[in-house]
Amino acid sequence: MQAGQPDLKSFRGMLLGSGLGSGRRHCAFCTMLLLIAHRCRSVLQISKVVYPGLPSHPAHARAQELFKQGFGGMLCFEVKGSIAATEAFMKALTLPLSAPR
């Protein structure tokens, strides 16, 4: 390690201290994202939902083999209609705020 460069131990300590390195929080996050993915499939304005935790995902079986503690934090979806419809959909979304426990 060169002077002025952080080592991995201090970075891992920062992650654990902030809660980002916590496996329990990661599992809860992935569980919540899977629930959101399932709910997105029932939204009329959404034409397609892509999340490896959904059985409809082409690599779902492989994801189950690889990811033992959840399917990750990336969820993609396509909005039906024009760009204006997509912009209206995005403007209608709200950002939930949660306080640390």
pTM of the predicted structure, to 2 decimals? 0.63
Query: The domain 22-92: what is its CATH number?
Result: 3.90.1150.10
Whether the pLDDT of residue 98 is over 80: the answer is no
Nearest to 89 by CA among 74, 78, 73, 76: 78
Q: What is residue 93's predicted lDDT score, i.e. its pLDDT? A: 85
Q: What is the average pLDDT across 11-20?
A: 56
Residue ranges per structural domain of the chain: 22-92
Assign 78 a pLDDT band (cuts: 50, 70, 90): very high
Supply the DSSP symbol for 46.
Answer: E
Please report which confidence band the pLDDT of residue 3 belongs to, taking 50, 70 and 90 as the band edges. Answer: low
What pLDDT does 69 receive? 79
Asked if residue 30 lies in contact with residue 70, where contact means CB atoms within 8 angstroms, the answer is yes
